[in-house]
Amino acid sequence: MPRRPSKELRPRQKAMLEFIRKFIEEHDYPPTIREIGAAVGISSTSVVNYNLNQLEEKGYIVRNREVSRGLRLVKATPGRTQTVPFYGEIAAGAPLPVPEDPTSIVDYVSVPMDMLPSSGDVFALRVKGQSMIDALVDDGDIVLVRSQPTVETREMAVVEILEPPEEAGATLKYFYHHGDHIELRPANPDPAYQPLIVAPDQVRVHGKVIGVIRRYQ
């Protein structure tokens, strides 16, 4: 069988990929071949073109050779991660009590950059329960949450129920605003999991779920 090409990048290719990423972040459009060459110290456009072809073959970029800036990134630069604060567990079921100090950081989680939004604060929580399994969020998963005080209907959110006291706590659910009441809807057909119906002034939104990290055994 023919040997499949390695996805390992040479130092020059890593430098080119990093420059492309930073250039796009700064300008919102990709660099030209000459700009890439100048950035990494290559005067020959054919050498730059060869390495771009290698990046394309290895699945890091897509090229349109009909235009001068015809490339885009399709994969995060290898090894680029960012740590986000981990605050403990979030219920996917009956609400869990909110800690006395909900801002207390338990740990930090390393997250690939391409899972993070371009703006806003992000925190992580470990899911406890199975009320959201049809949304591909299972017990033990880690959800990434962008901190924000409001969410749109049908978005998955971390919501704290403030009243009544016997139902108070934080939970992970789909958020539905029905005008005079809020519905916190599970994603599990099991009848054991029922929507929670509360008044708008009885809940506090802590953020919107933007990603899930799952560890496979």
CB count within 10 Å of CB 60 equals 24
Dmax (CA) of the chain:
71
Contact 159, 170 (CB under 8 A): yes
Contact 22, 36 (CB under 8 A): no
Q: Which amino acid is at 182?
A: I
Q: Crossing angle, helix 11-27 and helix 45-57, to 10 degrees? A: 90
Q: Mark residue 52 as left, alpha or beta (left: phi above 0; alpha: psi -120 to 50; beta: remaining).
A: alpha
Residues in CB range of 203: below 8 A, 6 or more apart:
159, 160, 161, 162, 182, 184
Dihedral sign for Cα 172, 178, 179, 182, please. Answer: negative
For the record, the structure tokens of 138 come out as 């299972």
> Any idea which residues carry the catalytic annotation?
131, 173
